[in-house]
Amino acid sequence: MASTFEFLRSREWIITRRVMLIGIIVVLGIRQYGGQFAALLKRPNPLRDIVITRAEFRPELPGARPAWIIGLRNNSDKFTYDQIQVEAAYLDEEGTALEMDKLTIRQKLPPGDEKLIGSVDFKTRGAAKRGKLKIVGATTVE
């Protein structure tokens, strides 16, 4: 019985208790604050953060040039984006791709914000009746 109490006074037991206490504090800290710490380390990623909520190509508008109605949402809670680059695919009635083009949307998109943008296309698109958009990049605003 005396040897058990002597072990509780030994240097090894004191070090073991301290290591276990530090381990418990680290585990509880990660459970409580791990997500916030990970968010601090997250880098901007426009392909992940920016979502196209609406992409409507309007070839039949009066005038010589068609137009786009584009809805964008920034799912980031930290980064503001500007000069959003999208890849536009122009399709005919059957869905065959006629041409591809890259467009730049010069619109600031703050964290958590959603915008609806109307834009006249800079070219006439001939037989194109529909279009598809895909985000390819953006500039981060500091």
pLDDT tens sequence for the chain (142 residues): 567 678 778 888 899 999 999 999 999 988 888 877 777 777 888 999 999 999 998 887 666 678 889 999 999 888 999 999 999 999 888 888 888 989 898 989 999 999 999 888 877 777 888 889 999 999 888 7
pTM: 0.68
Q: DSSP per residue over 13-25, as a string?
A: HHHHHHHHHHHHH
pLDDT at 2: 62
CB of 89 within 8 A of CB of 68? no
pLDDT at 120: 82
Per CATH, domain 46-141 is 2.60.40.1620: yes
